[in-house]
Amino acid sequence: MIIKINLILPLFVIVLMLMIIFVTSTGFFAAETGFKRGDANNDGFVSISDATTIQRKLADFSTDINLKAADVDGNGLDITDATNIQRYLAEFNDPYHIGEYVIDNTEPTRDEYELPFIPY
């Protein structure tokens, strides 16, 4: 019985150390958030419904939209974003890398009158 414990304990420690190394090196629990460029409706795919979501938002219809993902060309949300998604779906030239996953590490912008968070 002692021989089995002497074999199992080092194996357990090695496996535990490998798990710790994997979790810390890969950022498994990191709070990275991101989005797929062009996925305006957050369904995980770039499709014609994303262009329709942008058009509905521009026409002032109430719709859930991911503004960062919808702004594919980076110059603010406008009709060219919907057009660029349609061009991407038709397999035209795509200079904006629509459909690629973008990691968003930017801090949210603070309103000039918002008080800073002070832990107590």
DSSP 102: E
Q: What is the pLDDT of residue 111?
A: 53
Residue 72 has pLDDT above 80, yes or no: yes
The tally of domains found in the chain comes to 2
Residue 113 has pLDDT above 60, yes or no: no
Same domain, 72 and 90: yes
* 47: CATH: 1.10.1330.10
Same domain, 2 and 55: no
Place of tokens 């770039």: 46
Same domain, 73 and 100: yes
Q: What is the pLDDT of residue 68?
A: 93
Q: What is the pLDDT of residues 5-30, one digit of tens each?
A: 677 777 777 887 777 777 666 555 55
pLDDT band of residue 66 (cuts 50, 70, 90) is very high
The whole domain housing 3 covers: 1-29
Neighbours of 38 (CB within 10 A): 28
Same domain, 23 and 42: no
> What average pLDDT does the structure give for the chain?
82
